Amino acid sequence: MIWGIIGAMPSEIALLQTQMSNVKKETISGLTYQSGVIRGKEVVLCCSEIGKVNAAMCAQTLALRYNVGCMINTGVAGCTCDDLTVLDLVLSRDLVFHDYDWKLQEKYHPHTSSFPGDPGLIALAQKALAGMSEHIGYKLGRIATGDVFVEDEGLRRSIIERTHPDCVEMEGAAIALVAYSNQIPCLVIRCMSDNANGDAGMSFDTFEKIAADHSAKLLLSMLELAE
């Protein structure tokens, strides 16, 4: 099986790149896809750049050009729940859009307003977390996606009231929609870089790299454990 791995920013794939061997690069529609081997598994790694459209374009290329057997989106997010803190993780129980009309989404393709994380990938991630030497707090929860960096308390409250997420970010649900449409197992891994409030920008600048590496370390452990 080929693992399709997407990070939106260079920091989110940097650690993974250092672990790749037999690397071959291909540029499609302006994005660079790196094929190679990590921890004995075939992977295609891509930095999609930020936002839903870029993420969906990247995911569809992984599905059609590379015929990946699963998709993992790794990276950082803003926390919107009370039982996690900065540098904790969220594994995608499900994903939704916070800036799209759910009724329209249910009426038209793909006729659903939420996208579940794959049970097998969730179980593998939980097993990997249990075996890691570094303890990282985590939650199986809801991730809400929209084309905005949330750093306003009013917007944060509005998103929580409408979608009840555990964290917010800018790509996950778009990738999950593409995976769902192509019947490809998908999991989104997010490490909290901030609390999606008025201090989000400063917190993000401080913790982005550490949070990105936390997500990547979990993915490396998953690759090592996978059969």
Q: Rounded to a whole number, what is the distance in angstroms from the first to the last CA of the chain? A: 10
Distances in Å between the Cα of 60 and the Cα atoms of 44, 68, 148 are: 13, 10, 22
Contact status, residue 5 vs residue 219, Cβ threshold 8 Å: yes
Contact status, residue 59 vs residue 6, Cβ threshold 8 Å: yes
Report the C-alpha gap between 184 and 189 in whole angstroms: 16
Q: What distance lies between CA 38 and its chain's CA centroid?
A: 18
Q: How many residues does the chain have?
A: 227
Residue 125: how many other CB atoms lie within 10 Å: 25
Report the C-alpha gap between 227 and 222 in whole angstroms: 10
Which residues are catalytic, by number? Answer: 12, 194
- Burial class from Cβ neighbours inside 10 Å (0-12, 13-18, 19+) for residue 102 reads middle
